[in-house]
Amino acid sequence: MNVAVITFPGSNCDQDCVRSVELAGGSARYVWHREVSLGDSDAVIVPGGFAHGDYLRPGAIARFSPIMDAVIDFGRGGGLVVGICNGFQVLCEAGLLPGALLRNRSLRFQSHDCFMRVERSDTPYTGDYRVGQVIGMPLSHADGNYYADPDTLAALEAEGRVVFRYCDADGAVTQDANPNGSLNNIAGIANARGNVLGMMPHPDRAIEAVLGSLDGLPLFTSLVGALARAEVA
Amino acid sequence: MSRFTVEVLVTPRPGLLDPQGKAIHHALSSLGYDAVDDVRVGKAIYLEVSAATSQAAAERVEEMCRKLLANPVTEDFRVTAAATGAGS
């Protein structure tokens, strides 16, 4: 089992993601953005950071990095692809996920802990969480304000594709708990098939007690577990 | 082939929340400019393009807008091409 973590110029969470996979019992390696093949990778993580300096729009230039054709093919073919923070922005720009991440409602770079409610536990990324579980982890972004047109938003909700929603410590989904103005407090979504996930908060920064939270680790143990089951099957 | 200066205006789509525009509107109001009803902020991109005609230059850049320069989910764009050096 091998998880590819894509490194763009400006990525700064690629090491966090490799460590997260390893702590979850899997193995991961870095794939430089100029490579054109994912090799024998079984899953892909597009990490956080500021790929290509966020110039033009976050993710807009990264989306055309050479490796992205392979990532898009892999995701469209049902391969497991998760984008975290800047990676979420890249996956939206690449068309693997619908919608876009706009500038935060506050116009400020938001960098603090947040709570999210787990809405789905039947994805390859959330099997080790419970539906309704409130999890806490850091977020760190200027452009995390999830937007989709009304039809797309309605489809996301109807199809149960909102995986994480910003909430308060008690799990209440309120505007006060919405850090960036995201529609319907959306913190993370999946594609229709459920194999591609994008989220703004950082599970990769909540994987060890010393970081203040372990709530991100189940995302990676879920992923590693899903890959292990696929290998057996 | 001639050289054209192509101006691309990228603007947030109507109805989309534009927090920058709101902040500027608020600042203008506090300066006493009460006549301002709305402010929206976009960006301008200038390209020097070689093409046979200004129309060909504009069409080329419109393609670039659809592919990269604008996000169709959130932004509209407008393209204007003029012979480089003309009208400036």
Q: Are strands A28-32 and A3-7 parallel, antiparallel or unpaired?
A: parallel
Report the number of distinct structural domains present in chain A: 1
* H/E element, A200: none
pLDDT above 90: percentage of residues in chain A? 98
Residue A223 near residue A3, CB atoms below 8 Å: yes
SS3 A50: coil
CATH class of B2-83: alpha beta
Both structure tokens of B86:
């003309």
**Between chains, do B73 and A147 touch, taking CB under 8 Å as contact?**
yes
Q: Are strands A80-84 and A196-199 parallel, antiparallel or unpaired?
A: parallel
Q: Quick one: pLDDT at residue B17?
A: 84
Q: What is the DSSP letter of A148?
A: -
Measured between beta carbons, which residues in chain A are less than 8 angstroms from residue B20? Answer: 103, 107
Q: How many CB contacts within 8 angstroms connect chain A with chain B?
A: 35
A58, A18, A19: which is closest to A140 by C-alpha?
A58
A56 touches chain B (CB under 8 A): yes
What average pLDDT does this structure show over B68-81?
Answer: 96
Residue A233 has pLDDT above 80, yes or no: no
pLDDT in tens, A123-175: 999 999 999 999 999 999 999 999 999 999 999 999 999 999 999 999 999 99
Residue with tokens 């393209």: B79
Residue A200 near residue A137, CB atoms below 8 Å: no
Both structure tokens of A110:
């938001």
What ipTM did this prediction achieve? 0.86
Residue with tokens 């950082």: A202
Both structure tokens of B67:
């592919």
Residue in chain B lying closest to A145 (CA): B17
What average pLDDT does this structure show over B3-29?
Answer: 94
What average pLDDT does this structure show over A205-229?
Answer: 97
Q: Quick one: pLDDT at residue B86?
A: 63
- Domain that residue A52 falls in: 3-232
* Other beta carbons within 10 Å of A92: 27
A102 touches chain B (CB under 8 A): yes
- The answer to which of A205-209, B19-23, B42-46 has the lowest mean pLDDT is B19-23
A122, A140, A208, A136: which is closest to A171 by C-alpha?
A136
Could you give the residue ranges of the DSSP H alpha helices within chain B?
A: 19-30, 54-64
Cα atoms in the Cβ-side hemisphere of radius 13 Å centred on A66: 9
Q: Quick one: pLDDT at residue A192?
A: 97
Measured between beta carbons, which residues in chain A are less than 8 angstroms from residue B17? Answer: 102, 105, 145, 147, 181
pLDDT in tens, A17-49: 999 999 999 999 999 999 999 999 999 999 999
Q: Quick one: pLDDT at residue A1?
A: 82
Q: Quick one: pLDDT at residue B88?
A: 46
Q: Quick one: pLDDT at residue B15?
A: 85
A93 touches chain B (CB under 8 A): yes
SS3 A133: coil
pLDDT in tens, A82-101: 999 999 999 999 999 999 99
pTM: 0.94
What average pLDDT does this structure show over A54-77?
Answer: 97
CATH number reported for the structural domain that contains residue A127 in this entry: 3.40.50.880
DSSP assignments along A66-113, one per residue: THHHHHHHHHHTT-EEEEETHHHHHHHHTTSSSSEEEPPTTSS-EEEE
Domain ranges of chain B: 2-83
Average pLDDT across chain A, whole number: 97
Q: What angle do CA A54, A139, A176 make, to 5 degrees?
A: 115
Measured between beta carbons, which residues in chain A are less than 8 angstroms from residue B73? Answer: 92, 98-100, 147-149
Residue B33 has pLDDT above 70, yes or no: yes
Using the Cα atoms of residue B76, residue A72, residue A12 and residue A140 in order, give the sign of their dihedral: positive
* Other beta carbons within 10 Å of A149: 16
**Between chains, do A64 and B68 touch, taking CB under 8 Å as contact?**
yes
Residue in chain A lying closest to B71 (CA): A93
What average pLDDT does this structure show over A111-128?
Answer: 98
